[in-house]
Amino acid sequence: MAVKNILKVENLAFVRNDLVQFEPISFVLSLGESLHLEGANGSGKTTFFQLLIGMLQPSAGKLYFRDQLFKDCRFEYLSDILFIGHQAGVKSALSVEENLRWMSPDNTTPKQITLALKAVELAHYANIPCHNLSAGQHRRVALARLMTSNASLWYLDEPFAALDKQGVDFIESCMQNHLEKGGSIVFSSHQDLAKMAARRYKLTPFQEQS
Amino acid sequence: MSNFISGGFKAYLYRDLLLSVRDKTDLVKPLIFFLLIAALVPLAIAPEAQRLAKLAPGLIWMLAVLATMLSIERLFSDDLNDGSLEQMLLSPNLLIMPVLGKVTAHWLVIGLPLTLLSPVIGIWFSLPSVAVIPMMLSLVLGTAVLSLIGAVGAALTLPRQGGVLLALLVMPLYMPVLIFGSATIQSAVDGLNWIGPLAMLAAFLAIAIALCPLAITAGLRLAKNG
């Protein structure tokens, strides 16, 4: 039987400084599906991503990747995800091209890199150190990884922050493309997407049950 | 599967070398420090060849220890701040290789130039010429140990940038290296067999290569989990 759901989250909760961060999260994500995380500032979206990528250990609840517990398939899981957070690992002393090269998989060809840079409209900046770029361009360098990655599960924490209108359009079509190829996406954003249909999930503050 | 074990060493070695070439202050500061203090010693103590030659083995090693410690504290903190540490921890491969790559890059940028500069300092301190080769050998092995141990301290003191805590953590572990390093030079100056202390340094290096990456990776994971 083929596995349909790529990610399953069961009653995931996280406690920090004796405070429960959000109402326990449960959802199932199928192949070719995307999930739009919503929530006010400080509602725990970034914390949730940190739990998903295993940087933080959940206080309760379980995470399954292709119907296997995370800790039983660490290697397979980590080889198949792409995470781009607020700080995406762009080194400001390196040039745009060098940044993309070291963040991409080992077997990425120079042609793929050029194509990716062209797609995010940074082809003319390929040899410019990243500290000379604007915040939006910085973001584009990080998001160019969407073009070179072969991971099937994308985690994007606020991918549209600092991007201009064309940038948002481009990333949306990139995500759409990925979904059509059978990939899955979990992303957080404060804005509604124009093109892409995505299931929504709202993070709510924890309510004490009496 | 070969990628699981060896993946990341070359990439991180190359990236960190490139970063230090771009941002030359990191590269030059410890070396300038090393040369400057060495230049001050003859002026401050006495420009007498005999007295300086007596002090030389200990002084050269003290300078090497301080220069390494000054430079190691930024090894991981920059990566933590711009998010590339997170990406490194997300790699499915064994974390030891990227870590070893980074430490090797640090040694190539600090330890190796110090070793190559040391004969100049030997001349300033009127170190007997028989001791120059043992001095360089001891520095090659010793600074590699210093980089490895220092990286453990740098990983453990995250997310803050080392500072005094790093010095307190790392100094006791630097002592054996300092002792056997200066003993190698001293033995050569005194005309004794200097292979013994040098072999001790080589043994330290073997132990450090085997154990330090484990401690560093554990420290890095702890820094992100905390």
Distance CA A138, CA A131 (A): 8
Q: How confident is the model at residue B4 (pLDDT cuts 50, 70, 90)?
A: low
Closest partner CB to A91 (pick from B7, B11, B19):
B19
Chain A: closest CA distance from residue B144 (Å): 25
Per-domain residue ranges of chain B: 2-225
Q: Which H helix or E strand runs over B143?
A: helix B132-156
Q: Is A207 helix (H, G, I), strand (E, B) or coil?
A: coil
Complex ipTM value? 0.84
pLDDT at res. B199? 96
Which whole-number Å values give the CA distances from A46 to A49, A156, A188, B134, B164, in the listed order? 5, 10, 9, 54, 32
Q: Which residues of A touch B91 (CB under 8 A)?
A: 78
**Beta bridge mates, A7:** A29, A65
Q: Which residues of B touch A75 (CB under 8 A)?
A: 4, 92
Distance CA B112, CA A56 (A): 38
Q: Which H helix or E strand runs over A7?
A: strand A5-13
Interface touch B83/A85, C-beta < 8 Å: yes
Cβ contact A175:A34 at 8 Å? yes
Tell which residue, B171, B165, B176, has the closest CA to residue B219.
B165
Closest partner CB to B90 (pick from A57, A83, A92):
A83
The one-character DSSP state at A128 is S
Chain A: closest CA distance from residue B183 (Å): 41
pLDDT at res. B204? 96
The DSSP secondary structure of A84-109, one letter per residue, reads E-SS----TTSBHHHHHHHHS-TT--
Average predicted confidence (pLDDT) for chain B = 88
pLDDT digits (tens, 9 = 90+) for B92-121: 878 888 999 999 999 999 999 999 999 998
Tell which residue, B202, B190, B52, has the closest CA to residue B137.
B202
pLDDT at res. B137? 95
pLDDT above 80 for B7:
no
pLDDT at res. A116? 87
Closest partner CB to B83 (pick from A78, A87, A93):
A87
B195 burial type by CB count under 10 A (0-12 exposed, 13-18 middle, 19+ buried): middle
Distance CA B219, CA B77 (A): 12
**Helices marked H in chain A — which ranges?**
45-52, 74-79, 96-103, 110-119, 135-143, 145-148, 165-180
Interface touch A55/B15, C-beta < 8 Å: no
Q: Which residues of A touch B82 (CB under 8 A)?
A: 87, 89-92
**Beta bridge mates, A28:** A8
Distance CA A107, CA A110 (A): 10
pLDDT above 90 for A44:
no
Q: Is A118 helix (H, G, I), strand (E, B) or coil?
A: helix
pLDDT at res. A1? 45
Interface touch B90/A53, C-beta < 8 Å: yes
pLDDT above 60 for B2:
no
pLDDT at res. B211? 95
pTM of the predicted structure, to 2 decimals? 0.88
- How big is the CA angle at B97 (ends B92 and B98), to the nearest 5 degrees? 75
pLDDT digits (tens, 9 = 90+) for B49-90: 888 888 888 889 999 999 888 888 888 888 888 888 888 888
